[in-house]
Amino acid sequence: MAVTFSNPITTAVETALLLTEEKIGPRDGAGKTVVVAMSGGVDSAVSALIMRERGYRVVGMNLRLFSPGDAEHAANPCCGIPAMDDARATCAIIGVPFYAINMEAEFGEAVIDRFVNEYAEGRTPNPCLECNRHVKFRHLVARARQLGADCLATGHYARIEGGNDEPYRLLRAIDGNKDQSYVLHTFDQDQLSFIQFPLGRLTKPEVRQLARGFGLPVAEKEESQEICFVGRGSYADFVAKRRPDVTKPGAIIDESGAVLGEHKGLVHHTVGQRKGIGIAGPQPLYVLDIDTKQNRLMVGSRQRAVAREVEADGVAFTSDRWPETAVSCRAMVRYRGQLNDAIITPGPAGSGTATIRFTGAAAGLPIASPGQAIVFYAGEEVLGGGTIRTVERATESGESDG
């Protein structure tokens, strides 16, 4: 097999073209300090590099969140000691100070325990979102401000625009395949005014090109899986070790209550699931409901699995303004999922509740599960979001049960 070598001159030119203000933002960092969250991966490494190129005094900060020593988790050391070492090496290459903070206890309580308990109750949590909300950004913003920094930067793929007497707006990333705005929808105006996303106008290949061009040690590092603490095992196995009560077999029923078979523990199932139910039929079956009190799994057709309307709590808007009337939007219920036309009917001010009704054709309705985040968009802008608590399924005709 032929071996190809990159041309150093070509590489230098390609790298220089990626350092334009259109790509990385204005060179406005003179006299300013930025704390950069360093996970040990290529995205955060290039974020630190970009902020340095923009003139900021960069301080690299790593959060040690989960670092068990067993082989099961060695394949995904994104939050532990190996990742911390990679972050430290990157900071040494680009010549910036590095600090590490042990936050395993906070991560365990706010993310892992919540994940286990929500899953055991038949809901579908998003631990990456909870990590951003309760661990990473809460503590990193506080630490950065304690250090007197002017801003915090991370390697997330999203954009922030506004300021100068205009509200700050959270926008989707240019690279739609990497966009992470869904898990950032909880930001308020104070956070948006302090945080920067240097990668928002870059694609993943461009990020790796920058890393190669500057000789960063993580340029070719593989991406970690989304849920760092699960390791090589399944979600169900992880939860079962901590909640063995959810592994008890029980009945699989249809909507009429007729028993169709037996499940091997509710922990193995989530609402909307199609594969792994273990029942053959004339058409694919989907999980419609998880009854943890009676240990039963209800299944039905896809037409009955989709949602026409959901109730959400923990609802907030990035503008910090609670709408007084219904709001038209496009809503997303899965990370990097499809956008669906919807109308938000907000609850009373201060309630943090809302009803979201999907208005599109029945064929395009989403499958939604309690525990998932629902995020509201207007074009490229993130309006806000909340957590789904109840789901009103569509009838066979596509209308709602109500």
Active site residues: 131, 228
* Token pair for 228: 């760092």
Could you give the dihedral angle defined by the CA atoms of residues 122, 376, 319 and 346, in that order, rounded to the nearest 10 degrees?
-70
| Non-local CB neighbours of 181 within 8 Å, separated by 6+ positions | 158, 170, 171, 172, 173, 375, 382
In angstroms, the CA 96 to CA 91 distance is: 5
Amino acid residing at 318:
T
CA angle 255, 258, 259 (to 5 degrees): 115
In angstroms, the CA 38 to CA 42 distance is: 9
In this structure, the number of other CB atoms found within 10 A of the CB of residue 195 comes to 23
Strand partners, 344: 327, 356
* Token pair for 217: 């040690």
In this structure, the number of other CB atoms found within 10 A of the CB of residue 139 comes to 17
In angstroms, the CA 100 to CA 40 distance is: 11
> Which of 145, 232, 130 is closest to 183 using CA atoms?
130
